[in-house]
Amino acid sequence: MAVTKHPLPLRLKSSSNSSVSRQLMRIGFIMTLTFVLIAIFAPVFQAWGWIQNPLESLNNPSHVPPSAQYWFGTNREGYDVFSRTLYGTQVALQVVVLATVLSLVIGVPLGLVSGYLGGSLDRTLLFLMDTIYTLPGLLLSITLAFVVGRGIFNAAIAISISYIPQYYRVVRNHTVSVKTELFVEAAQAMGASTWRVISRYLFLNVIQSVPVLFTLNAADAILTLGSLGFLGQGLPPRVPEWGHDLRQALQALPTGIWWTAFFPGMALTLLVVGLSLLGEGLSEFINPHWRKQR
């Protein structure tokens, strides 16, 4: 007698995977939202007197361990580690959002135009983007940071250059596949201009993966900004930035002063994990193959 095979175990496995992905995405969203709220309300907390000014150091003793007065202790220069850690969130999100938005604004239009028009323009842009993509991102950011100098906007420019090829490649490849669809050919046959075809018929159909790439690039940009600050090529020294604070903390770490490195490093790690979980969850949610398996 023939035995009928039921696909129930496969559906259960797919449902379990989707449930785990949703839970991880929720965790990543909560972690990221927490840091966003900290960045927004840090000046309010300072105005209410809950936290110190991160640039005030003369009234604080140096290397005080965590206590009721100094929750995260103080560093070598007398800065309050708690306030600098909170304000470091604000600075990190400002630079990272600006960097990823810059790379998105440049990479997405170039990918749309290159994929739709093709020809010599497509080959030239593809060669240029592949050349940039092959360079190590951190090394490229360090070089540009040395050229453009320190500052929030300058750091964003230095970081964004390595992400432009990623947006370009994703959007360009989707555009090449979508431009042969019937609805695009029908729009061309009706006399629609190039701008109308790109903006109305192609744009929304080729940017499904952009939110995922945005969050994953933001997580990587946090690490890049921290690396620039650690190497002394990020923001000005007085600006509360996690990478710079970690660099200053290394000198005191062998003497048992752990708090000046632990709290900025933990904040950086948690934000990167939150953005990574959010990006991976969005990838599973947006992926059409995953949708078909639900």
CA 7 from chain centre, in angstroms, equals: 39
- Reduced to 3 states (helix: H, G, I; strand: E, B; else coil), residue 74 is strand
Cα–Cα dist 125/43, whole Å = 43
For 40, residues 6+ apart whose C-beta sits below 8 A from its C-beta are 90
Whether 235 has a pLDDT exceeding 70, the answer reads yes
Residue 76 has pLDDT above 70, yes or no: yes
Percent of the chain topping pLDDT 90: 18
Per-residue confidence at 58, pLDDT binned at 50, 70, 90?
Answer: low
Rounded-to-integer distance, Cα 222 and Cα 279, Å: 14
- pTM of this prediction? 0.83
Q: Is 149 left (phi over 0), alpha (psi -120 to 50) or beta?
A: left
Q: What is the pLDDT of residues 166-213, one digit of tens each?
A: 999 988 888 888 887 777 778 777 877 778 887 777 887 888 778 888
Q: Over the stretch 213-230, which tens digit does the pLDDT of each residue have? A: 888 889 899 999 988 888
Q: What is residue 7's predicted lDDT score, i.e. its pLDDT?
A: 47
Kindly state the tokens that stand for 60.
């604080």
Axis crossing angle, helix 210-230 with helix 259-286, rounded to the nearest 10:
160
Cβ atoms of 191 and 156 within 8 Å: the answer is no
256: left (phi over 0), alpha (psi -120 to 50) or beta: left
Write out pLDDT tens, residues 108-121: 999 989 888 888 88
Q: Is 56 helix (H, G, I), strand (E, B) or coil?
A: coil
How far is 241 from 84, CA to CA, in rounded Å?
7
d(CA 108, CA 89): 28
User: Domain ranges in the chain?
Assistant: 84-287
Name the CATH superfamily housing domain 84-287.
Answer: MetI-like (1.10.3720.10)
Amino acid at 46: Q
Contact (CB, 8 A) for 200 and 246? no
What separation in angstroms does the CA of 61 have from each of 72, 77, 168?
A: 13, 8, 51
Q: What is the pLDDT of residues 27-39, one digit of tens each?
A: 989 999 999 999 9
Structure tokens at 279: 């990006």
Residue 18 pLDDT level (bands cut at 50, 70, 90)? low
Question: According to the model, what pLDDT value does residue 140 have?
Answer: 86
For the record, the structure tokens of 215 come out as 């969050």
89 pLDDT higher than 70: yes
